Amino acid sequence: NAGVMQNPRHLVRRRGQEARLRCSPMKGHSHVYWYRQLPEEGLKFMVYLQKENIIDESGMPKERFSAEFPKEGPSILRIQQVVRGDSAAYFCASSPRAVSNPEQFFGPGTRLTVL
């Protein structure tokens, strides 16, 4: 049973380019969460999605960042016109959202470096 998959593992972009990060949740999980980890910091919540719905994007920067979780395919976190401050590790987690189990299972992360 494959865990949460994220790709690419490492992504290098120049300032002004677009970054697309992909996340495939665990089988049977329909809830996806994105977190960002800046250097020397803990993870910070960005967005929570279900299939075709954004449930909570309160942690997302208002500009340049967007996320989707289509009916088919992986969840995508998109960063337009990247800046150096976007350099971070981006983690995706998924859950079955069972009431009795709040656990979120994390992927290996994508390390974004903006030159």
Partner 1 sequence: AQTVTQSQPEMSVQEAETVTLSCTYDTSENNYYLFWYKQPPSRQMILVIRQEAYKQQNATENRFSVNFQKAAKSFSLKISDSQLGDTAMYFCAFMKGYSGAGSYQLTFGKGTKLSVIP
Of 34, 33, 45, whose CA–CA distance to 90 is shortest? 34
Query: Is residue 25 a contact partner of residue 1, using CB atoms and an 8 Å limit?
Result: no
Minimum separation from the CB atom of position 102 to partner 1 (A): 5
Minimum separation from the CB atom of position 81 to partner 1 (A): 26
Beta carbon nearer to partner 1, 17 or 26: 26
Beta carbon nearer to partner 1, 14 or 102: 102
Query: How is residue 41 written in tokens?
Result: 């910091």
Beta carbon nearer to partner 1, 14 or 98: 98
Q: Please, what's the b/e burial string for 83-109 (b: 16 or more CB within 10 A of its CB; e: otherwise)?
A: eeebbbbbbbbbbeeeeeeeebeebeb
Residues of the shown chain interacting with partner 1 in the complex, contacts defined by CB under 8 A: 31, 33, 35, 40-45, 48, 55-56, 58-59, 89, 91, 93, 95, 97, 99, 102-109, 111
Minimum separation from the CB atom of position 99 to partner 1 (A): 6
Under DSSP, is residue 82 helix (H, G, I), strand (E, B) or coil?
A: coil
Under DSSP, is residue 36 helix (H, G, I), strand (E, B) or coil?
A: strand
Beta carbon nearer to partner 1, 50 or 80: 50
